[in-house]
Chains A and B, each alone.
Chain A
Amino acid sequence: MKISREDVLKVAALANLELTDAEVETYRGQLDDILTYIDKLNEIDTSCIEPMTQVVTASADGSTLREDVVVRSDVITEVLRGAPDPAPLYFRVPRVIEK
């Protein structure tokens, strides 16, 4: 067994994900299958291989960089319109700091 019930619960906590008992059990079994399959990567020795972290690297002409200039965006009203509990100019959340 590659992954235990406790592993799933630990990872779910890291990801801020509430899971039901049934979900924990289902995911444990499915992830076990997937991780066992992924083990096939150990057939290849990659000790001398560089990891590929991205496809495009910064272009030679420097066009991926721009001047760091401040511009007004004026989007507060529109952005707050999409929030579940707006309290302009803020997003309201349950209290995190006790008085």
Chain B
Amino acid sequence: MSAATSWTIPEVRAALDARKISARELVKEFYAGIDQRNPDLNVYLALSPERAYAQADRIDAAIASRDALPPLAGVPLAVKDVISTRGIPTTCGSRILEGYKPPYDATAVTRLEHAGAIILGKTNCDEFAMGSSNENSAYGPVRNPVATDRVPGGSSGGSAAAVAAGLAVVALGTDTGGSIRQPGSFCGIPAIMPSYGRVSRYGLIAFASSLDRIGPFARTVRDAATVMSTLAGRDPADSTSAAIPVPDYAAALGRPLSGLRIGIPDDYFAEGLDHEVRQKVEAGIRLLEKLGCRRVSIRMPNTDYAVAAYYIIATAEASSNLARYDGVRYGARVPGATLIEMYQKTRGRKFGAEVKRRIVLGTYVLSAGYYDAYYLKGQKIRSLIARDFRKAFEQVDAIITPTSPVPPFRLGERTSNPLEMYLADIYTVTGSLAGVPGISVPSGKTSGGLPIGLQIYGPAFGEERVLQLAHAFEQAGGAEL
């Protein structure tokens, strides 16, 4: 790996300012790295060199005429394939959208590009973001660059792997039940799920609308904070985006942690937690104490019900959102003698196994006679989980948990039992249901050298606090515990 491909945002900027490299040369270097490593890692599904070089030339022209550069000038960016990019294939990792090119850009993409970022291409993911290992992509699994016999996590595995492998400086992912935080943990990089409503979902192809969020992967917490400042804020095109002012997230970094109360929920350190993950997360908590945080033991009594509630709500919303793939307006069509037969064949043959499983489950829990027993019950449990978080944040400033109960597992190791795979989402689905922000930061490694993630939850719209803690943790050597 050459130096440029391991740069952070400030390093890209310094090199451009010093004219050590042009934006065009930088892009060329990243594409060379992608050519070399993508056949093995399967990180990118589509590249967008035309758009990337056009943007690079705009940045180079601005540098030549000594114009003020925007905050992300020349920063190579990877975008998860569930986020719409005008004219660039966007498949959601599915055969049903093979060849689809959106006629518009997602707001998140527009904002980053206006801030100077350069879109290199679209990253692999579990089909329609449904999965925790990236093995549900119709275009083959991604390999974890840290250990290529392992999964990178999911569903945003391609975006996490792109940043971890030096095939992008930052990447966009999406998180519905852990799909940013868990792959961040598995690939050993910081990854943040912002509060629901903090980042516009316009142009994000919907999985579960009350849960879906867009957020960044980066090599450092500071880079993640920089990207967040550009991404966040009200968007008239998304009525659920909040009109709450956006702070300068990077400015919060470096403030001392003394006196901050961190809540440790006993309920998250129960059965099913891998021994080495527990050890390293506990070491991480001790490091935060050393940095001045005060440890407070808390209870979040409804945690045990979160996975069940999540899989009711997420699949119900998915069954509704995915009704639009019917072979009429975009993507693939399998011909049929009648309209209904065409719908059934197109959906039956072009959706993958996990997507069909979730559509069947989601349709079932919404169907006549079962709505109250499942969907309504799930929404009531969701209220209780949100209440657990509200009560906790009356006592503490942040909550510390493991990101995933297990370290990265081997490709193929867990594909036979969907329920077992769902249960491993326990620490991330809680925050998804509650709507609060959460970040995963590297917290040591297993004896075999596999990354472990520590998760920091903050109150709704408390991204500043979460980033401040994560940054201090990273700077104090959290990754090397």
Contact = CB atoms under 8 A, between A and B. Distances in A.
Contact of A55 (B210, B234, B336, B378): B210
Contacts of A19: 348, 356
A51 B360 contact: no
A1 interface: no
Interface stretch (B114-122, B129-137, B235-243): B235-243
Contact of B196 (A34, A43, A55, A84): A55
A30 B357 contact: yes
A94 B339 contact: yes
A65 B374 CA distance: 32
Interface residues of B, number: 71
B342 A18 contact: no
Interface stretch (B303-311, B446-454, B473-481): B303-311
Contacts of B378: 41
A17 B348 contact: yes
A2 to B, nearest CB: 10
B386 A84 contact: no
B377 A82 contact: no
B419 A30 contact: yes
B347 A59 contact: no
Nearest to B209: A54
Interface string A1-16: 0010001101110111
Contact of A3 (B337, B364, B418): B364
Contacts of B184: none
B361 A82 contact: no
A30 B418 contact: yes
Contacts of B308: 37-38, 40-41
B445 interface: no
B182 to A, nearest CB: 20
Nearest to B211: A55
A70 interface: no
B196 A56 contact: yes
Interface stretch (B3-11, B151-159, B271-279, B322-330): B322-330
B363 interface: yes
Interface string A60-92: 010111100000000100110111110000010
A45 B374 CA distance: 14
B347 A18 contact: yes
Contact of B210 (A53, A59, A63): A53
Contacts of B189: none
Given A3-B364, A40-B308, A78-B103, A51 B339 contact: no
A53 B383 CA distance: 9
Contacts of A7: 364
B347 A17 contact: yes
Contact of B319 (A15, A30, A31): A15
Nearest to A77: B103
A50 interface: yes
A11 B242 CA distance: 36
Contacts of B327: 84
B338 interface: yes
A97 to B, nearest CB: 10
A16 B419 contact: no
Given A38-B312, A51-B383, A75-B103, A82 B329 contact: yes
A38 B382 contact: no
Given A7-B364, A40-B304, A55-B435, 17 more contacts: A3-B364, A15-B363, A16-B347, A18-B344, A18-B345, A27-B356, A31-B361, A34-B422, A38-B311, A44-B381, A44-B384, A50-B380, A52-B380, A54-B210, A55-B240, A65-B239, A96-B338
Interface of B: 100-103, 196-197, 210, 234, 236, 239-240, 242-243, 302, 304-305, 307-309, 311-312, 319, 323, 326-333, 335-345, 347-349, 351, 353, 356-357, 359-361, 363-364, 367, 374, 376-384, 386, 418-419, 422, 433, 435
Interface of A: 3, 7-8, 10-12, 14-19, 23, 27, 30-31, 33-35, 37-38, 40-44, 46, 49-56, 59, 61, 63-66, 75, 78-79, 81-85, 91, 93-94, 96
13 contacts: A17-B356, A18-B344, A31-B360, A34-B418, A41-B381, A46-B377, A51-B383, A59-B243, A82-B100, A84-B327, A85-B333, A94-B338, A96-B339
